[in-house]
Structure 1
């Protein structure tokens, strides 16, 4: 069952309808977090700046406790991953006791790469993409 869930999580990233909303060549910047995580909530409060810097990529909020909605002004640029898939992704990328916040990048049509293990700021986007070979 766990292997199936991880496979489904990978399928979400590679074939999700989120990719259909992206401009050509865009990927996904995935923010793994939780409502109880103070650095994660700080990252969420700065989401507008991160989403603007991430273009043409889409930002995906992957909260492991329960999904958190993006501000209405960011509709189309920010999506939400279901909590069960977010937990599976966090476990796959970070292992047991994965630690939050964490971020990753999924180039268009590919799986998420190695995790970024600290709050993601706009200045960190280029190093994250480079970590993923983009």
Structure 2
């Protein structure tokens, strides 16, 4: 099992549209939410064997797919590299931009609150 997958939770308590999206994903195995220090939030779906992620950086945005060649390695996508450390931090790296480290939160709506309250421990690297 890939690092960071422990504690993945299946889709629960979501709107019908979100639940429908999850049922359409092939091999959906779990979902994590992250709060970033810039106030943004991430919705990360883990697919298949844990080596594929779909990352939504905005609520209505299309997800960006990244894949990893092996457990513990960097996930790579089009203009995006992603690493997961300790199971509760995700770091996004884009060409020409600073890395963005985001901290896992329990629910999507809590993400902005935890960062605003100083509880989001992610930081731009």
TM-score under structure 2 length normalisation? 0.34
Instruction: Looking at secondary structure, tell me which structure has more strand per residue.
Output: 2
Q: Which has the higher contact order (CA 8 A, sep 6+)?
A: 1
TM-score under structure 1 length normalisation? 0.33
